[in-house]
Amino acid sequence: MSKQLKQRNTQRGSPEHEQEQDAPLLNLPRDAQGEVIATSNSKTDHQAGKTWGRARDVSIVDIAIPAVIMATCPFLVIYFWHACDAFQCDLAAPLAPLLAADSLTPRTIAKWIIGCFPTATKEGVILFTGWLLFQAALYAFLPGPVGYGQMTPAGFVLPYIVNGMSAWVVTHILYFGASLGFDIFPATIVHDNWGGLLIAANVYGYFLSVFAFVKAHFFPSHPADRKFSSSIIYDLFWGIEFNPRIGKLFDFKLFHNGRPGIVAWTLINGSFAVAQYQKIGYVTNSMWLLMVLHAMYVVDFFWNEDWYLRTIDICHDHFGFYLGWGDSVWLPFMYTLQSHYLVRNPVDLSTPYFLFVTGLGFFGYYIFRSVNNQKNLVRKTDGNCLIWGKPAKYIRTEFITSDGKKHTSLLLASGFWGVSRHFNYVGDLCISLAMCMTCGVTHLLPYFYIIYMFILLMGRIQRDDARCRGKYGKYWEEYGKLVPYKLLPYIY
Ligand code: NDP
Q: What type of residue is 228?
A: F
Q: Is the CB of 411 within 6 Å of ligand 1? A: yes
Give the chain's residues under pLDDT 50.
1-49
Q: Is the CB of 368 within 6 Å of ligand 1? A: yes
Closest residue CA from atom 32 of ligand 1: 424
Helix (H, G, I), strand (E, B) or coil at 19: strand
Q: State the number of CA atoms in the 13 A half-sphere of 382 facing the CB.
A: 6
pLDDT of residue 183: 94
| Angle (CA) 121 122 128, round 5° | 90
Looking at residue 345, the DSSP 8-state letter turns out to be: S
- Measured CA to CA in angstroms, residue 172 lies from 167, 176, 180, 295, 441 at distances of 9, 6, 11, 12, 31
Q: How far is the CA of 464 from the centre of ligand 1 (A)?
A: 8
Measured distance CA(173)–CA(177) in Å, rounded: 5
pLDDT of residue 51: 65
Ligand 1 atom nearest residue 457's Cα: 43
- Burial code of 243-264, b = ≥16 C-beta within 10 A, e = fewer? bbbeeeeebbbbbbbbbbbbbb
Strand 394-400 vs strand 390-391: parallel, antiparallel, or unpaired? unpaired
pLDDT of residue 463: 86
- pLDDT tens column, 420-452: 999 999 999 999 999 999 999 999 999 999 999
Q: Is the CB of 486 within 6 Å of ligand 1? A: no
Q: What are phi and psi of 387, to 5 degrees?
A: -120, 120
Q: What is the distance, to the nearest Å, from the Cα of residue 308 to the centroid of all Cα atoms in its chain?
A: 10
Closest residue CA from atom 40 of ligand 1: 453
pLDDT of residue 58: 82
